[in-house]
Amino acid sequence: MFGTPFLNYLCTMAYRRETVIVSVGSNTYQQNSVQRAKRLILELLDDVVFTCDKWTDPVGMESPQFINCLVKGTTTHDKDQLVRALKNIERRLGDSRGMRTKNVVVMDLDLLQYGDEKLHLDHWERPYMDELLGQLGEKPYMP
């Protein structure tokens, strides 16, 4: 039961590397916040590529403009672990639910793709996404 095929399976699962895409956005101290997030993301993901930062109008709220960018990288974390780590980065940078109720977004990190699974589908349809995806060598989103 615990012969070589089983051990090979366990090793493959333990070190399975997934490609991920994460969105980064801030409407408060935008340039500083995004740069700090990028440094922390470099500690979390491997093979990291960032798009250029892009100033964008807010979606669904009244606030100052955002700086947005995308990050493509690889990880051995499972999806839930990665989401928790991203939310931890948000908190470390000073983001909170209380501030968000006032339309203050110090840092918003959303896992948009984990392996072949696309998440936050509404984000993929935002006007700036095709441009940023192109910078990562990704095709535009087709619902």
The domains of the chain, with CATH numbers, are 17-135 (3.30.70.560)
Determine the pLDDT at residue 102. 87
State both tokens at 17: 């590397």
Q: How many residues does the chain have?
A: 143
Determine the pLDDT at residue 4. 59
For residue 5, pLDDT over 90 is answered with no
Mind listing the pLDDT tens digit for each residue in 62-79? 999 999 999 999 999 999
Determine the pLDDT at residue 8. 54
Determine the pLDDT at residue 1. 45
pTM listed for this prediction: 0.87
- Cα–Cα distance measured from residue 23 to residue 87, given in angstroms and rounded to the nearest whole number: 12
For residue 143, pLDDT over 80 is answered with no
Burial of 121 (0-12, 13-18, 19+ CB in 10 A): exposed
Mind listing the pLDDT tens digit for each residue in 77-131? 999 999 999 999 999 998 888 878 788 899 999 999 999 999 999 999 998 999 9
Render the burial of 53-89: b for 16+ CB within 10 Å, e for the rest: bbebeeeeeeeeebbbbbbbbebebeeeebbebbeeb
